[in-house]
């Protein structure tokens, strides 16, 4: 039984999944490109032309279809990690505009994001404020009809290739130097004077990442998203949508690893039979399949609940925690079943092994998800 037969999905979700699967098979490759920036730009263009990026931004009436986003990331991750990354960043980078943008802001940016004509980025993390967003120090000081941004951001996905950044900065000082109040969100074009890409960051699975510096960067008041001081809530709302989709990406990587493991164990001769005939290999395969389906159930439950208008802080955290940690185990087992071939540079499972590791950290590390889940449980217990 396919997971798409589960009752979480509508007929249009199943049709979308089938069309995307066929497109991925024709256009994507699991192997890393030599030029990551160029491939990322190419993928954004390809997905925009094919219409897939329309599912990463708000549709008619301002609604975001969380299940469609999750299906897209699940499918794209199975075929090419960078394609999943490019799709996700178009959604995350423009998510605050989808959720809180004025009609003018939406009209100016969302059609270009959906068409693949503008690359988006989400600039929240700082050197001392990653998982702890309340420690954010970047400042936005009022000046005339706008603001001046001072400070820096780091680990910014699409940094260096983005056409615009949604930047979170303090418009009011924080008591004791930290706190959720007084944070506001701004749309900052990449060519804004005073914005500098200070450093490109290399990681084990190549993605465009950078450190940004804001040195008196001027932002018109019309570029503020929502009211002053509402930025923290907006960042959390955005992450609630896309945190579930991180689980979907991990699920896609795990599915590909299980697929590769099944093919390898059935083809590999061992002790007069095949590796798949050995009980120890069968136990690993069974455990991998259970982790995949368990993660899928939590992921699509969270996506379905959000699409029903429910708050999914706990469910999204559960999905991300279980899916990313489980995918790491599934991929590790797949690599083990490949033996020496699994650690050979360029092998599919070796690529997956590098791809999955960051998902246990970004958009809230696994330990942060545990804190969120516990906090929500304790709320309900009072």
The C-alpha angle with vertex 47 and arms to 42 and 49, in degrees rounded to 5, equals: 95
The C-alpha angle with vertex 220 and arms to 215 and 224, in degrees rounded to 5, equals: 100
Active-site residue, 126 included: no
Cβ atoms < 10 Å from Cβ of 309:
7
Which among 111, 133, 112, 109 has a CA at the least distance from the CA of 123? Answer: 133
When computed from its CA atoms, the radius of gyration of the chain, rounded to whole angstroms, is: 21
- The catalytic residue among 10, 363, 367, 376 is 363
The pair of structure tokens assigned to 71 is 């299906």
Which among 201, 206, 209, 245 has a CA at the least distance from the CA of 354? Answer: 206
Which among 216, 100, 92 has a CA at the least distance from the CA of 155? Answer: 92
Question: In 3-state terms, what secondary structure has residue 301?
Answer: helix
Q: Catalytic residue numbers? A: 363
């Amino acid at each position: 039984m396919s997971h798409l037969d589960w009752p979480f999905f509508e007929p249009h979700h199943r049709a979308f999944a089938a069309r995307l699967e066929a497109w991925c098979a024709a256009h994507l490759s699991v192997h890393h490109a030599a030029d990551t920036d160029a491939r990322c730009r190419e993928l954004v263009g390809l997905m925009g032309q094919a219409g897939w990026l329309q599912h990463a931004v708000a549709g008619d009436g301002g609604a975001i279809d969380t299940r469609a986003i999750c299906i897209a990331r699940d499918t794209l991750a199975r075929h090419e990690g960078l394609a999943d990354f490019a799709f996700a960043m178009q959604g995350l980078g423009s998510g605050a505009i989808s959720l809180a943008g004025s009609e003018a802001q939406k009209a100016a940016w969302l059609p270009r994001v959906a068409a693949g004509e503008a690359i988006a980025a989400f600039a929240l993390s700082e050197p001392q404020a990653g998982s702890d967003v309340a420690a954010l120090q970047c400042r936005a000081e009022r000046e005339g009809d706008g603001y001046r941004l001072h400070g820096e951001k780091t680990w910014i996905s699409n940094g260096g290739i983005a056409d615009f950044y949604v930047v979170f900065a303090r418009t009011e000082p924080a008591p004791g130097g930290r706190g959720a109040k007084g944070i506001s969100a701004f749309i900052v074009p990449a060519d804004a004077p005073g914005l500098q890409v200070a450093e490109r960051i290399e990681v084990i699975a190549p993605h465009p990442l950078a450190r940004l510096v804001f040195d008196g960067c001027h932002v018109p008041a019309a570029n503020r998203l929502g009211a002053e001081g509402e930025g923290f809530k907006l960042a959390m709302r955005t992450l609630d949508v896309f945190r579930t989709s991180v689980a979907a990406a991990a699920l896609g990587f795990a599915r590909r690893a299980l697929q590769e493991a099944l093919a390898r164990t059935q083809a590999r001769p061992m002790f007069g039979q095949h590796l798949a005939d050995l009980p120890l290999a069968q136990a690993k395969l069974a455990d991998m399949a259970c982790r995949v389906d368990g993660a899928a159930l939590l992921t699509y439950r969270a996506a379905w609940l959000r699409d029903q208008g429910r708050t999914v802080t706990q469910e999204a955290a559960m999905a991300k925690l279980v899916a990313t940690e489980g995918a790491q185990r599934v991929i590790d087992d797949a690599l083990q079943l490949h033996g020496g071939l699994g650690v050979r540079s360029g092998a599919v499972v070796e690529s997956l092994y590098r791809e999955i590791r960051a998902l246990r950290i970004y958009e809230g590390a696994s330990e942060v998800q545990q804190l969120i889940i516990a906090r929500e449980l304790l709320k309900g217990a009072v």
